[in-house]
Amino acid sequence: MSYFMPEPKIILNNSDDLLNALNNSEWSKDHDFKWNIKSIFIIECIQEIIDSGKFAYNSDVNRLVCEKLGLSTADCDLSGTPLSLLVYNAQNYRHSDILKSNGFSPLTQELVEKAYAQKRKIELQNMVVYNVRKIGDNIYVMKPRARNYAVSIQGQPARMV
């Protein structure tokens, strides 16, 4: 799973947009397109479950969305449906949005070079602050108090501190 979702190709802003998408689900057959649909309505349902103190399992989100849309809950418990795909996407977009709002972006060599130029450190999502050092001609993100452990740059959530 990627930590950051790409910009959505379609944003479903409300329940009407979601119902239209579910009724016209030809988009679910297009492999490249179906993973880039963001539903604000489903994200709000996820947040509603979390605010109630529960974990937002996809099946629970499916049921809540079905109840709010007035759909049959028997159809909503099936995996592989267009709704279950949109719930999966919404979970990922919500997580990505939270990371971005907390100042995280993908760890890239450009971010490392920028942190080095500004004499700053890099914090990863695990809340460990790493040093940025130049060794030879290369700039590395180094584990604190380590002389030969460099972090592998794989697009993980990071921010300059």
Asked if pLDDT for residue 31 goes beyond 80, the answer is no
Residue 88 lies in a domain: yes
Domain count, the chain: 2
- Burial bucket for residue 132 (CB in 10 Å: 0-12, 13-18, 19+): buried
Same domain flag for 45 and 80? yes
Q: Are residues 123 and 56 in the same domain?
A: no
Global pTM reads 0.85
Instruction: Please tell me whether residue 144 adopts helix, strand or coil conformation.
Output: coil
Residue 128 lies in a domain: yes
Q: How many CA atoms lie within 13 A of 116 on its CB side?
A: 16
Residues β-bridged to residue 140: 133
**Residue 125 belongs to domain spanning:** 105-160
Q: Are residues 67 and 17 in the same domain?
A: yes
- On whether both 124 and 76 belong to a single domain, the answer is no
Domain end, chosen from 59, 84, 101, is at 101
Q: With respect to residue 61, please indicate whether it lies within any of the assigned structural domains.
A: yes
Res 65: pLDDT: 95
One-letter identity of residue 135: I
Instruction: Read off the pLDDT of residues 107-149 as tens digits, 9 standing for 90 and up.
Output: 999 999 999 999 999 999 988 999 999 999 999 999 888 878 8
Cα dihedral 60, 66, 68, 69 in deg (nearest 10)? 160
| pLDDT tens per residue, range 47-73 | 999 999 999 999 999 999 999 999 877
| Beta strand 10-12 pairing with 37-39 | parallel
Per-residue confidence (pLDDT) for residue 67, from 0 to 100: 92
Mean of pLDDT over the chain? 91
DSSP 26: G
Long-range pairs for 69-77 at CB < 8 Å and ≥24 separation?
A: 69/15, 69/18, 69/19, 69/22, 71/22
* Rounded Cα distance, 132 and 100, in Å: 22
- Top pLDDT among 14 and 74 is at 14
Q: Are residues 88 and 114 in the same domain?
A: no
pLDDT at 88 over 60: yes
Cα separation, 30 vs 24, whole angstroms: 13
1 is a domain residue:
no
Token digits for 50?
């979390």
pLDDT of residue 2: 67
